[in-house]
Structure 1
Amino acid sequence: MTTKDIINDKLNKLEQSLLNQDHLNNPIEFLTQLASLSKYFHLMSDEDRDYIHCAKTALEDQIEWHI
C-alpha cells in the first residue's frame, strides 16, 4: 500500500465520519482521526488540506455536515 493509498483511505474514513456526524457525537474519536492525518498533511493536495480544514471547523464550531 502506497502513502497515497493510506492518505486516501484515511480521508475516506474521515468523510464517512463527517456524514455520520461523528464530529458531533464522538468528538474525541473524530479528533483522533484528524490527528492521524496530520503527519501526512505535507503530502496532500491543496484540495485535501482544504477538506481537513473544513472538517476541523465543523468539529470546533459544532456544525452539522451536509453534502
Structure 2
Amino acid sequence: NDVKSIAPWNGKFKLDLLRDLAKLAEDEERIATKLHDLSSQRDKIREQKRGHVQCFLNLVSCYRKRK
C-alpha cells in the first residue's frame, strides 16, 4: 500500500528533477557562452592596449630621434 501511494509522487519528483536538470543544463550553456564572449572581449582589449603601447613607444622613439 505504501509503495502505491509513493509511486505517483515519485514520478512527479523524477519529472521535477528532470526539469531542474534541463534548466541547469541551459544555464550552464548560457554561462559557458558568456564566458567565451568575455574571453573574446578581453583578448580584443589586450590587443588594443598593445597597439596603444606600441604607438606610444613609436612616438617616444620619434621624439628622441628629433632631439
TM more than 0.5: no
TM-score of the superposition, structure 1-length normalised?
0.30
Q: Which has the higher contact order (CA 8 A, sep 6+)?
A: 1
Q: Which has the higher helix share?
A: 2
Q: TM-score, normalising length from structure 2?
A: 0.30
